[in-house]
C-alpha cells in the first residue's frame, strides 16, 4: 500500500534501478530477491513474482502498434498464466471491457489498432495490461510523460487508489511536483546511489532539492 517516489536529476539512476528491479537489465554485482521468493534474473522471473513495469519508452518498449487494444492489453496476463493456458475470446472480451471502462479509455473500441489512440489512452492501455495480472509491485517510469493534463490527472488518481487497495508502487517522474503529490516516501538518487530517504513532514520540495544538490 505504499507509493515510493524516486527523485533525482537526469542520469541519477532512476530508470536503471527500475529496469534492474524488473530484470530487464543485469546488475554488475549483487543479487535481487523478491519478498515472495526467488531471485530475479529476467522480466519473466519478475512477472512470475507479480512485479509489473511500465517503461518510460511507451513507443518502443510498451505498445505494439500493429496489434489491437485488446491484444496489447492481455499480453502480460497471458504471459503470467503461461502460453498453454490461453484466454478464450469470451474471457478476453469480459476482462478488456471491464478495464476499458475502469480506466476511461477512448475510443471504447478494443478492436482498434493501439497506434491510432492518443498518447494518454495508449498509456492507460499499458497500465491496464499490468493491472490485469494484479501485481504486488507496480513500477511506473514516467507514466504521465507526453500526455494531456486530463489523462495525467486520471493516472495520478488511479495510482493513489491502487495504493489504498494495497498495491505497492514505485513511482518515477522528472516532474518533482508530481512525485511529491503521490508519494508516501521519497528516495533521492545521485550518481546512481541512494543518498537519502524522506518521509512524512520531510516530503517538501525544498528538502528534496537540497538533497539533490548535495546540500544535506
Q: Is the pLDDT of residue 99 over 80?
A: yes
- The pLDDT of residue 136 is 93
Continuous H helices in the chain: 14-22, 43-48, 58-61, 69-73, 75-81, 89-102, 119-131, 149-164, 176-182, 205-212
59 to 43, 65, 87: CA distances (angstroms): 18, 8, 26
Interval 120-142 mean pLDDT: 94
Q: Is 54 helix (H, G, I), strand (E, B) or coil?
A: strand
Q: How far is CA 161 from the centre of its chain?
A: 14
C-alpha cell recorded at residue 112:
482498434
| pLDDT (average), residues 83-95 | 88
Q: What is the pLDDT at residue 12? A: 94
**216 has pLDDT over 70:** no
Phi, psi (5° rounding) for residue 187? -100, 125
Q: Which three cell numbers stand for residue 207?
A: 528538502
14-31 burial, b if ≥16 CB within 10 A, otherwise e?
Answer: bbebbbbbbbbeeeeeee
Please provide the average confidence, as pLDDT, over all residues in the chain. Answer: 92
Residues of the chain above pLDDT 90, percent: 75
- pLDDT band with cut points at 50, 70 and 90 for residue 84: confident
Name the 3-class secondary structure at 66.
coil
Q: What was the pLDDT predicted at 81?
A: 85
Q: Taking residues 116-145, report their average pLDDT.
A: 94
Indicate whether 146 pLDDT > 90.
no
pLDDT confidence band for 82 (50 / 70 / 90): confident
State the residue for C-alpha cell 495480472: 133
The answer to pTM > 0.85 is: yes
Mean pLDDT value across residues 177-205: 95
DSSP string, 135-168: -SEEEEESTTTT--HHHHHHHHHHHHHHHHTT-E
Residue 7 has pLDDT above 70, yes or no: yes
Amino acid at each position: 500500500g505504499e507509493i515510493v517516489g524516486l527523485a533525482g536529476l537526469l542520469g541519477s539512476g532512476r530508470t536503471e534501478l527500475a529496469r534492474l528491479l524488473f530484470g530487464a537489465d543485469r546488475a554488475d554485482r549483487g543479487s535481487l530477491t523478491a519478498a515472495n521468493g526467488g531471485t530475479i534474473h529476467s522480466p519473466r522471473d519478475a512477472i512470475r513474482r507479480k512485479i509489473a513495469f511500465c517503461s518510460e519508452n511507451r513507443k518502443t518498449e510498451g505498445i505494439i502498434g500493429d496489434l489491437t487494444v485488446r491484444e496489447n492489453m492481455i499480453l502480460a496476463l497471458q504471459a503470467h498464466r503461461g502460453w498453454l493456458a490461453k484466454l478464450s475470446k469470451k474471457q478476453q472480451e469480459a476482462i478488456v471491457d471491464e478495464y476499458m471502462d475502469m480506466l476511461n479509455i477512448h475510443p471504447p473500441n478494443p478492436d482498434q489498432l493501439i497506434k491510432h489512440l492518443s498518447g494518454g489512452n495508449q498509456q492507460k492501455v499499458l497500465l491496464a495490461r499490468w493491472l490485469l495480472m494484479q501485481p504486488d509491485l507496480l513500477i511506473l517510469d514516467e507514466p504521465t510523460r507526453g500526455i494531456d493534463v486530463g489523462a495525467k490527472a486520471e493516472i495520478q488518481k488511479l495510482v493513489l487508489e491502487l495504493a489504498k487497495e494495497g498495491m505497492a508502487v514505485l513511482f518515477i517522474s522528472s516532474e518533482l511536483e508530481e512525485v511529491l503529490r503521490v508519494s508516501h516516501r521519497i528516495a533521492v538518487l545521485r550518481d546512481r546511489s541512494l543518498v537519502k530517504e524522506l518521509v512524512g513532514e520531510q516530503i517538501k520540495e525544498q528538502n528534496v532539492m537540497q538533497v539533490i544538490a548535495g546540500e544535506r
